[in-house]
Amino acid sequence: MTEVPQQLVDDASEELYERKVIKTDKGQEPYRIDKFLMNRIEGATRNKIQNAIDAGLVTVNGHTIKPNYRVRGLDEIIVFSYDSPESTDVVPEKIDLNIVYEDDSILLINKPVGMVVHPGSGNYTGTLLNGVSYYLQQQNPNINENILPRFGLVHRIDKNTSGLLIMAKTAKAAAHLAKQFFNHTVDRKYVALAWGDMEADEGTIVAHVGRNQRFRKLFEAYPEGEYGKEAITHYKVLERFNYVTLVECILETGRTHQIRVHMKHIGHTLFCDTTYGGDKILKGTVFNKYKQFVDNCFQICPRQALHAKTLGFIHPETQQKMFFESELPADISQVIEKWRKYVKGKEEY
């Protein structure tokens, strides 16, 4: 509905819906809301606004409304809109999907490592969204991005992060899930292997996350909040291996690279995170056998050791709480087992 502002592109989030709040003046004359919003939102059309209203993406004073609602003085209008920086067309492709759960409203997928979530610069085919669009069109040939924006994608995870991702199969479900993500009520737990022996058994990291001011493909933690968007990560130690620590990370917010950036910020870069320097020995004395051991671990898991393990949310239709959990993939599991044996002196090189 709107052109993506530069700040939104710079402060990218895993959540793909943005919220626009409009407050009317005290003397606002009654005016149909679809016409009112056309004058207030750049690039909006009456059809798009009416579709958004029908999906529940427009509320007035906290309530959903009908397209013929007339705005009044001191109304608070909230519009949720899909504002991904990437607007590349989605070409349906037949791709194997690991579907964990599906009903008429939602689709839960366990994304493998190495799969990009949606088409964008340099990745126009072979993405999860290419596969989902094909899959949904087999069920309903008439479905398209006008009916279901980005084929129900409401959040994303990094290419080299594995794990659970929820998608909507209807516009109404997309709106419901988008609001849950925006209000931070979705339960998301990740398992990560991080460099170093963490001092505290648990804690909270609070630091804005935004793009690095020099290297635009990297993200940075800004504890003073001078750039980026608010980001909060809670962590808990699951197991210690002297030089690395297995942790559970709970996202309160969902910024791009949030866990990876926050863990680096506190001095515990994720194991084998090639983007943020975790693909070299950061803890431990570099002697031949230890280096050989770590290099073997890197070969087994040549990506950031991060997995989106659990996902909890309110079902858009039944209003029931749903909770899903996925097993750790083989690469991370094997590396964890190698570290267990190493600290016990049983690891063979």
Active-site positions?
158
Amino acid at 130: N
Tell me if residue 180 falls in helix, strand or coil: helix
What Cα–Cα distance (Å) separates residue 268 from each residue in 11, 66, 201, 239, 264?
Answer: 23, 50, 14, 14, 5
| Greatest pairwise CA separation for the chain in angstroms | 78
> With contact defined as beta carbons under 8 Å apart, do 165 and 156 qualify?
yes
Of residues 262, 259, 292, the one with CA closest to residue 14: 259
Show the tokens assigned to 301. Answer: 């898991």
Alpha-carbon distance of 257 to 207, in angstroms, equals: 13
Residue 115: burial class (beta carbons within 10 Å; 0-12, 13-18, 19+): buried
Integer Cα distance of 241 and 113 in angstroms: 24
H/E element, 189: strand 187-195
Question: Residue 21 pairs with which residues in a beta bridge?
Answer: 78
- Give the residue among 161, 89, 147, 82 at the shortest CA–CA distance from 118: 89
Torsion on CA atoms 142, 146, 147, 151, rounded to nearest 10: 90
Contact between 86 and 13 (Cβ < 8 Å): no
Six token digits for residue 259: 């866990």
Q: Which two tokens stand for residue 341?
A: 């044996």
Contact 248, 238 (CB under 8 A): yes
